[in-house]
A and B are shown apart, each in its own frame.
Chain A
Amino acid sequence: MINFSPEDISAIWLTLKLASTVTIILLLIGTPIAYWLARTNSKMKGPISAIVALPLVLPPTVIGFYLLIAMGPNGFVGQLTQSLGLGTLPFTFGGLVVASVFYSMPFVVQPIQNAIEGLGDRPLEVAASLGAGRLDQFFTVVLPLAKPGFITATILGFAHTVGEFGVILMIGGNIPGETRVVSVQIYDHVESLAYGQAHTLAGTMVVFSFVVLLCLYWFQSKRGGQWSMK
């Protein structure tokens, strides 16, 4: 039987809570972005796509460094949150959520965008000619037809947030139960040479990630769905 310490269990719960919160928020705000990117001919499509994809190429240290400054008391995000009476975001669970939403965004937006683009114009034109409004079109045509894309987006968004490390290390402050997620806890174990405890958690994470990805690929081959990063 695997032996987790209470701190490990607290880190696991925190990680699952963070990943769930982030995934729900990303589905809510990522879907309109993906829908717009898939359907628009606007000149802004290029720049917006590039911003969404930035976390794919930037090292977490760069993102974490700028988030720490931007969300700090002298940064523009920090000024905004302070004027709203929310204090500053680093070292809080809310701060991790904001950072992770940005960091995992492409993993949610791109599969949904690809799925909607794959539908073509035809289904929406037919729906429109039958008198369906925009929202109606989305819920009765786009959502059911692009479902594989949404499921892929959910799994990837969740899994990627679980695997997040660098950004959280830089803005989290390693507070138990608040910002000390599993990846940081593993790092602490390794740094303090507690290799046994590190193995337990790290091994669990490898198995978890493998199972998640296995489900994803199994699901994709069954549905004939496809996903590719653009």
Chain B
Amino acid sequence: MKRLVKQFEQQTSHNVIVSYGSSGKLFAQIIHGAPFDLFLSADQELPSKLVALGHADSSQQFTYALGRLVLWSADSNAIDEKASRLKSGDYTHVALANPRFAPYGRAAIETLNALGLVVSSESKLVQGENVAQAYQFIHSGNAEMGFIALAQLYGEGLDRLDKRRQFHGSKWIVPDALYSPIRQDLVVLNRGQAKQIAQQFFDFMRGDVATSIISKSGYSVSTNHD
């Protein structure tokens, strides 16, 4: 996001103020009148809901990124290319984001189901409120492994093995077929409708430059813009 904003600011000499938060919290703020022009959600459901509630227009909603799920461990030897340790159930805790409201958490549960893995005890699945917290559980070693967003590893520079870094862990990128696509939508809110710059940002996000930045950050980009 920082790279996108920087690029946009350089291109247009406009200033963008970003308010980060979990999608659910930002949604609640928007319906209660928060002064935002655009909303970049980590899912598709909330932007669609804003459109349905009349806070945005459906013509100005599109999928800017497809999230990719990864199984990650802070231990370099914990995960092989077949994720055998996950499959054999040889762990005390697997971390994930809360599947009740976090898209990556839902995808993690779908993956476990698709692999036919029945987690023997509920207490083996530890839930963070979001992927950032799941990352923290794994990073601190409290959970041997867990499902997070591939983009998080890119953000931390942990996507490649780097011998100079003390710490890189091991990972298994979950095949797309195992979970339904994590569509992340962007929507221009009513407050931003009349603003030229909001429109510019919307167009920028659909353009090649933004698409290339997004796909280099651990996301897939959908080919059809709808």
Contact = CB atoms under 8 A, between A and B. Distances in A.
Interface in B119-174: 122-123, 125-129, 133, 136-137, 140-143
Summarize A's interface: helix, strand, loop or mixed.
Answer: loop
A69 B98 contact: no
Interface in A129-155: none
Interface in A162-213: 169-170, 173-178, 187-188, 190-193
Summarize B's interface: helix, strand, loop or mixed.
Answer: mixed
Contact of A188 (B98, B126, B136): B98
Contacts of B129: 169, 174, 187, 191
A154 B95 CA distance: 36
Interface residues of B, number: 25
Nearest to A71: B142
Interface string A51-92: 000000000000001001101111100000000000110110
B141 A191 contact: no
A168 to B, nearest CB: 11
B7 to A, nearest CB: 31
Given A90-B142, A91-B123, A68 B136 contact: yes
A188 B142 contact: no
A174 B123 CA distance: 9
A174 B27 contact: no
B140 A174 contact: no
B126 A69 contact: no
Interface residues of A, number: 26
A88 B126 contact: no
B123 A175 contact: yes
A75 B140 CA distance: 9
B54 interface: no
Nearest to A177: B122
B98 to A, nearest CB: 6
Nearest to A188: B100
B89 interface: no
Interface in A2-33: none
B28 interface: yes
